[in-house]
Structure 1
């Protein structure tokens, strides 16, 4: 858990509190930062210490209609003191500055996209997203497609992505080539080699955090996320496990998201291993990560080129010449299709919500008409 100051209290400024959050705080409410959530309750860090806080009825109602509004790790919350029990209740989530949202996308039995179109916030008010990708994962090499997807979502969150090639000590040969490959699929993003057990690259990682900045570490199980958190904290604050015997893959050591304050300043959110992260609300994240493909597409003869069989397609020409790798093209097309599906699904959900709202309004109008003298 987050280590308190010597007085047992918390300095809210060191947790990221500032004037913009203060301006959104309801009158008479007490501010606190969510460090952990667990089934209708949260551990919140306030100026007078850490509190286990249950959600108000209002928060539960909002969450029933929109899971995105549920409190999550990193949120700033407004709490109200309940008397005579003298306990806090979480009555509102303050507007988020950034939010890393996972979309509810999965594959159905026929291999198509399915899901409810709703999302889940993995972390909020984050300044930096550390994308942890192991140099080797069991017998598998680093997954460039996973890096692309997580960097897309990091840009969409509003935070700044940084890619960490973890367990670099396990790849004594070919590491420079891997760093170059990852830099190619994450243009404009800092990429660092990291070996937490040897201390390699930890200072570079720490340098991305300000004294009150917040980072979240995301990646697959066995990527070394908890080991990195321990290295940044200078203490064993998270349990770690060796990779599984047989396939060399990681176990799920972290079972929930949790926020930690670092001794030298800054905060970090550790997360469970991510198997698959669906897109949610897509803006320009795909364009930023796949700027090379987007540049090629602008040179196509037809503005509405589908990059399939059209003549004068610059993307197909780049594929034929080897300038554009097939893997990257397929990754780009997959994310484009998923983003389009999520947009259609979200539009359908919004239409259903609008229709439901008007049904309620018309019902109330008819009821009022019947009761009119």
Structure 2
């Protein structure tokens, strides 16, 4: 079906974004959220053309949108999924509407049209971490230091949710496909449809949700959800960055193995550890730093949540391993000369 391009859409510029859309109160407690007219989204995505699909999720697709002056956005279209879609839509709009952090995706606005719901975000040029690691390039663009920078960015985003949000927020669906990368490989957390405000996490009506391979054992077995569930998922992402393997891999048609089960015995063995590192980055890092990152990952994926660190502790462990120019405290030139002198 072709949709007429409305005149209103032709003249719309989205930069600066604030003030260009009508800000209305979605629900009083949510504050102001920009509402974007449906015809503008139709025009921006070329009528939701297949060629503009950036990715697909459980309830619909994410499209690239282009407004005037080449202002690019990502448009998530949630198709009719009943109450569940409605809940996730409201949840995401509410949380992102009041969240501003360099490592959390920016919400530009939303739209309700018939049974469909739309959320408009900033566009992240390098797509998801999952695509970068497991897609056609197989992680070839991600150096050791870039991978550590991504881990640091993710930890920063989680720290904001756990420590600086009031009340704290549990993401509940942290995974490599929900970590998006901009043109400089700055990482931002996305997809807050399943996020939970701490204090509401153990209500009986909270459906068990998440993605196989990332879900913490205590949540899977007992439905017990805390900030430490996010720390477990972070540990799995760290293992993905370290080894270039997927969180769950098929061994036989009927048998799967998790990255945690497979890696755990080798992560704590210094002679075996270098051999399980992603071949793309193998032998490119200081071994001492590799052991430190492996130690952080091991702590994060402990079966007992009380043994896992707080995300703030993780952050402090990673800072010294990431070069200053990438947001950490490591001075690469000094480090390189010290390594030469010692050798």
Which band: TM-score by shorter chain?
under 0.3
The structure richer in helix per residue is 2
Give the structure with the higher percent strand. Answer: 1
Q: Whose relative contact order is higher, 1 or 2, with alpha carbons under 8 Å and at least 6 apart? A: 1
Scaled by the length of structure 1, what TM-score is found?
0.25
Taking structure 2 as the reference length, what is the TM-score of the superposition? 0.27
